[in-house]
Chains A and B, each alone.
Chain A
Amino acid sequence: MNLKKTIKLKTLLSALLVSFLTLTLLGVITHVTDVHLTLGDQLLDLNRDKTQSANAVTSVVTYFRGLDTLGEVTILFLSIFGIGIGINRSDQMHTILHYDNPLLKIGAKVLFPVIILFGAYIILHGHLSPGGGFQGGVVIASAFLLMFLAEGDAYDLDHRIMTLFESLSGAGFVLVGLLGAALGGLFLSNPLPLGTLGRLFSGGILPVIYLFVGLKVASEITLLIEYFIRTRDARDA
């Protein structure tokens, strides 16, 4: 009797929470429109002559602290590598979280290119608007997650292409840094023209670095999800 009462209370509370958060998010999005103006005006003034990037966070992440980002990407690569070694793999893999639902299948097929496009937009506009390589890469990986949930075992991921993207983008990041060292004197310095603030082709090497980071994060998180969501065919055997 007591147990039943608590469960009902929890259901009520969670319904209240979800409606509250949804209304709040809608209200915030419609009312707060000057997010760009309040986001560290002083930092924007500081980095304007250095990078010509509209997003100060991006210039901190990829230019002022570019070496730290290289370290972060390396740590991510090593952790995915360790998971790939630790997971016991075989030829017959079984998708553990899969709903055989035609509505979900059609919806996933429709939404998949849209989510990929949104992730590519976030990556390419990382120096202009909020977001960047990490966020856009995870958005792209969530599109693959949706396909895993909808299609299950039928969705075949080409590991060769994924590994190729992962290694090429990691090598590209280091190559951009070495190019800066060869032309500008320091590792990850900016040899490219800065352009004008607010244009897509501006900011020198910032969009190039974020493109490589985005490709790397997307392929790595997709491989991570695939390692976790597929297991050996143990339950049916």
Chain B
Amino acid sequence: MLPLLKKPKIAFFSFTCCEGCQLMFLNCEKEFPVIVELVNIVNFREAIDEKSDDYDIAFVEGSISKKEEVKKLKKIRERAKTVVSFGACASTGGLNALKNRFPMEEVKRVVYGKNASEHKISDTLPVRPIDSIIKVDHYIHGCPVIKEDIISTLQSLILGKTPEVWNYPVCADCKMAGNICVFEKGMSCVGPVTRAGCKAICVTYGCVCWGCRGLVSDPNINAHRETLERYGLTRDSVLRNFDLYGSYRMHKNKKRL
């Protein structure tokens, strides 16, 4: 059982990312004054000057794409009692991992021209989620994360409970939201194998599930395949959907360094 923490020290870190997940924390406008009473934010580059190496809980946003990020990440693990993987980039590699489809040399040349290797940015590695390097205690999924997950995770950690992570597919969320299944509308969706918790917001707002929360544990791949066949969808259209947020997983075993 986790010990009850008295006003825990919280630190936010961001690696290769868009900082949208940290912004979602700052978007908890109603809860913010209460949160700062219950926790001590000791490190948060975007919002506070103060820095500290003494923290209990580290929220880590972003994937790892440089050697120096690996070093920093390992230090965070040494210092924190609890590490929370904050958002899709940290948890699964996220969209950043689309870059992994190509050899790094090609990627650099294409963006920075033929003098790419001379430029200081030249040490780019294939993108990785943080749990490929350190042990992670809890995950908050999504691109971006949702406010409710931030609040409930914080509540659980402050109370010494294990934060809950939903483990059923987005289809359940979609049904609860009363959405018409997008397969019926001729679209292709990875919801059947994606982790729910988002209330299927993308379908509610007119799109398909893009898969940003990662695969649910033990996904029902066979049922998904059957569904695709039933609607006459091609393998390519689905691979493309999986590729968006699943590129790290799909290209993990290829030598891309």
A joins B in a complex: no
Q: B-contacting residues of A (Cβ < 8 Å)?
A: none
